[in-house]
Chains A and B, each alone.
Chain A
């Protein structure tokens, strides 16, 4: 038998962003939003994109998910160029993307149309349990709280068993307590399912609490300023010296003062 090649053992890059640039043309004016973005995300890795408001984080995420074609450069997933959205890579929206005309069950079931009835029911039950929405199967989204809706959307995404999740400030609209709880839940789910996650935020603490690596982006036109690996094991102690050191480093990098 042949030997396993050493390359195969190393962590494979799931997502490759190569020299991506994005220019929007509007009213004859062109806006350079992304410039020379190079990034590799490993299989099962949790990466946070961090940057000032309006720098182009959503734009980059949209391009990765196949909703937008970059003006230049290529984006590959598993070596294949990304051309269109795909159920293997689900985008969880900043605005609430759950369908108001479907119940909790109906929403989770939405992407499962290729499965048999029994498989569907099993999946729905599994993810309702996972995100803690048991007892709300027949509820409609506007009877749920903001955090529950966000969990529902994550459940809908996970139910189709994607390889990757793109999350665009998913907890941005939640209160700070719910946000903390949701971060814990997301980490728990990520550890259970090991999806590759690209998570956009402009909250430095959020990025350092969640990510394996934090990608710090500059103001528009966005370039990658620095990639900070967060070498703290989960569960992370957010008062530990290393946590504070990493967080402060990013603060400095972005050019923010420590006092207000």
Chain B
């Protein structure tokens, strides 16, 4: 199904006009406010629970929230947090971008040429279920301990999902569009550029978002073994160098927050796209 039509329904849905006066307005605003703050209130509640839980049962199973805040401050103070975040993002960027520029064209081509797909598909299906983490020993053997090994692992983790997304997206392009393109005298490469490519963009963007999430999962795991910097390394190192569990959890918090930010960024890209397709603003 074309994402355009799905979005069309959403786009046409009209908000009921607010004409019942200020009372209604402020009521709606309060509701909105409540809905927005509910998750934050829930997080606060969990933090309090965590705090008192640890206080009540002071074991070494988990540091309290203040301990974690202390750990974060500690890391910031030594400049480690920023350094490790940058190191992790650097690897994710490279692995992800390399996967995007290779897997998407390959997937588009494979989807377009059915034969090629049939030649590639068994290999893809065989390699895909192998977790990128299973490649860690080979990555280290080939690239040594360092950025390259981690980038290679992220690349592998991103490559197959991206390629399959691109392949599927091309196959889902309604054949009327391709036929219309041919009817207007477009050559094969023009059909790909002017019809297939714009038709697959919305699905590709969804695929990119999911894959970036995978990349962020893989980098942490890769850094635990294959390198000596980054947020994954921070977690292992904090444990090895004297069981600093406050730093371990601080690292986890940083990973979660950055993962969330990456996802939000990709979502805004999705929205931008829907905006372009769905409404009457700017033209490409």
Contact = CB atoms under 8 A, between A and B. Distances in A.
A: contact size bracket:
20 to 34
B: contact size bracket:
20 to 34
Interface string B215-247: 000000000000000000000000000000000
A87 B185 contact: yes
A93 interface: yes
Nearest 4 CB-CB pairings of A with B: A142-B8, A100-B4, A111-B184, A87-B185
Contacts, number: 75
Given A87-B184, A90-B183, A100 B5 contact: yes
Contacts of B280: 103, 138-140, 143
A147 interface: no
Contacts of B279: 140, 143
Contacts of B183: 65, 85-87, 89-91
A95 B194 CA distance: 20
Contacts of A140: 4, 277-280
Interface string B176-195: 11011011110000000011
Contacts of A99: 177, 180, 195, 198-199
B131 interface: no
B238 to A, nearest CB: 49
Nearest to A66: B183
B11 A138 contact: no
Given A86-B185, A101-B277, A138-B283, 8 more contacts: A67-B179, A97-B176, A99-B195, A100-B2, A110-B180, A142-B11, A142-B278, A143-B11
A102 B11 CA distance: 16
B148 interface: no
A85 B182 contact: yes
A140 B280 CA distance: 6
Contacts of B201: 101
Contact of B176 (A95, A105, A110): A95
B174 interface: yes
Q: By CB atoms of chain B within 10 A, which of A86, A89, A97 has the most?
A: A97
